[in-house]
């Protein structure tokens, strides 16, 4: 493999577009070393636009095989139920020495290796869509034949667009539930906070800007101070003040229970998908 590997996304939908877009805009790979495949022109055009012109192949017209032949890193980014079939179809067509990276939720290393063929080097990744803006959070686990160099390459890719944690495979269900699906929880909370601000009288755009900057600020405080979130929360809560009144309302309405239930549901679903 060269210093600058070619990276191909088999399936160029929402996750592939976010990851590829982030990798190109953050300088991990120039657009002419990034490729994608999909069946519809719409998917391919959106991928190309978000990556500054990465070339795409038509999956309905032999494009998946062309991609497999072309790239050093083959990122499987179709729906989980399509992974086995598309990976089996790439057998005997993949570029010599290429690395397979799957971003599919719930599809195990065992399934990937069985579909890819003997000795295939596989890394399983759970990224998230904020990769597009360099604020991703990902977990990954290496397959039986993946080398230290493969793991280092995947880590470098993921760290170019955010943070990356190597975990044992069973923990990928938890990673999926916390950071893979997590942006949706953040967006839901942010939408609710902005709505509530509108209800309290703020114009919509101002409320949304304030809500987004506040959540970003809270996350940055946790990351940059290393303080426990509870300590930071306590510093906002003046005795008899506004914040503790709001915190009490959140506790009464079951915020913590709701978050626990959400993460447990996502982790259970991820585990279940391994058997589908
Ligand atoms: N969305 C997210 O936040 C995250 C998703 N993931 C994982 O990423 C994967 C993709 O999810 P997501 O991006 O959301 O889904 P999308 O539906 O947005 O993307 C799937 C892509 O696959 C293409 N496709 C379908 N069939 C084929 C085929 N036979 N050959 C090549 N391409 C094909 C689709 O385009 P077309 O229909 O035009 O062919 C589409 O571009 C999933 O496995 C998911 O678990 C992981 C982490 C986060
Ligand atoms: O909802 C899903 O199944 C995918 C995996 C994590 C985020 N989106």
How do residues 237-273 score in pLDDT, each as one tens digit? 999 999 999 999 999 999 999 999 999 999 999 999 9
- From the number of C-beta atoms within 10 Å of its C-beta (0-12, 13-18, 19+), residue 144 rates as exposed
Neighbour count for residue 206 (Cβ, 10 Å)? 12
Atom of ligand 2 nearest to the CA of 273: 3
Q: Which residue has its alpha carbon closest to ligand 2 atom 7?
A: 181
Answer yes or no: is pLDDT of 89 > 70.
yes
Distance (Å, rounded) from C-alpha 34 to C-alpha 24?
Answer: 8
In the chain, CATH 3.40.50.720 covers 7-169
- State mean pLDDT over 45-61: 97
Distance (Å, rounded) from C-alpha 276 to C-alpha 270?
Answer: 10
CATH code of the region 182-273? 1.10.3730.10
* Mean pLDDT for all residues in the chain: 97
Distance (Å, rounded) from C-alpha 176 to C-alpha 254?
Answer: 23
Q: Which residue has its alpha carbon closest to ligand 2 atom 8?
A: 181
pLDDT tier for residue 76 given thresholds of 50, 70 and 90: very high
Q: Which residue has its alpha carbon closest to ligand 1 atom 22?
A: 11
Q: Is residue 180 within 6 Å of ligand 2 at its C-beta?
A: yes
In the chain, CATH 1.10.3730.10 covers 182-273
Answer yes or no: is pLDDT of 226 > 60.
yes
Mutate to test the pocket of ligand 1, among 11, 45, 138, 161 (most ligand atoms within 8 A of CB): 11
Confirm whether the ipTM is greater than 0.95: yes
Of residues 2 and 12, more confidently modeled: 12
Neighbour count for residue 88 (Cβ, 10 Å)? 12
| pLDDT for the residue 164 | 98
49 CA from centroid of ligand 1 (Å): 17
Answer yes or no: is pLDDT of 1 > 70.
no
| pLDDT for the residue 3 | 66
pLDDT tier for residue 38 given thresholds of 50, 70 and 90: very high
pLDDT digits (tens, 9 = 90+) for 127-156: 999 999 999 999 999 999 999 999 999 999
pLDDT tier for residue 275 given thresholds of 50, 70 and 90: confident
| pLDDT for the residue 110 | 96
Q: Which residue has its alpha carbon closest to ligand 1 atom 1?
A: 15
Provide, rounded to the nearest whole percent, the portion of the chain with pLDDT above 90: 97
**Could you tell me the fold of the domain covering 7-169?**
Rossmann fold (3.40.50)
């Amino acid at each position: 493999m060269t210093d600058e590997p070619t990276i191909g996304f088999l399936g160029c939908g929402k996750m592939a577009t976010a990851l590829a877009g982030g990798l190109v805009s953050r300088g991990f790979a120039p657009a002419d070393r990034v490729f994608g495949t999909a069946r519809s022109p719409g998917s391919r055009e959106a991928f190309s636009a978000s990556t500054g012109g990465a070339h795409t192949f038509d999956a309905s017209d032999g494009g998946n095989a062309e991609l497999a032949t072309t790239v050093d890193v083959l990122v499987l980014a179709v729906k989980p139920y399509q992974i086995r079939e598309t990976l089996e179809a790439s057998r005997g067509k993949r570029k010599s020495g290429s690395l397979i990276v799957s971003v599919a939720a719930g599809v195990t290393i065992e399934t990937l290796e069985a579909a890819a063929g003997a000795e295939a080097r596989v890394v399983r990744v759970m990224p998230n869509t904020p990769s597009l803006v360099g604020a991703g959070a990902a977990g990954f686990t290496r397959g039986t034949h993946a080398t230290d160099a493969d793991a280092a390459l995947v880590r470098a890719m993921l760290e170019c667009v955010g943070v990356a944690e190597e975990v044992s495979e069973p923990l990928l269900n938890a990673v999926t539930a916390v950071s893979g699906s997590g942006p949706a929880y953040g967006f839901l909370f942010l939408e609710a906070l902005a709505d509530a601000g509108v209800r309290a009288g703020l114009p919509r755009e101002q409320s949304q800007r304030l809500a987004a900057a506040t959540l970003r600020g809270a996350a940055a405080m946790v990351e940059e101070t290393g303080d426990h979130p509870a300590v930071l929360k306590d510093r906002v809560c003046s005795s008899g003040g506004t914040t503790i009144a709001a915190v009490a309302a959140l506790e009464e309405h079951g915020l913590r229970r709701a978050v626990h239930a959400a993460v447990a549901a996502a982790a259970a679903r991820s585990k279940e998908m391994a058997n589908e």
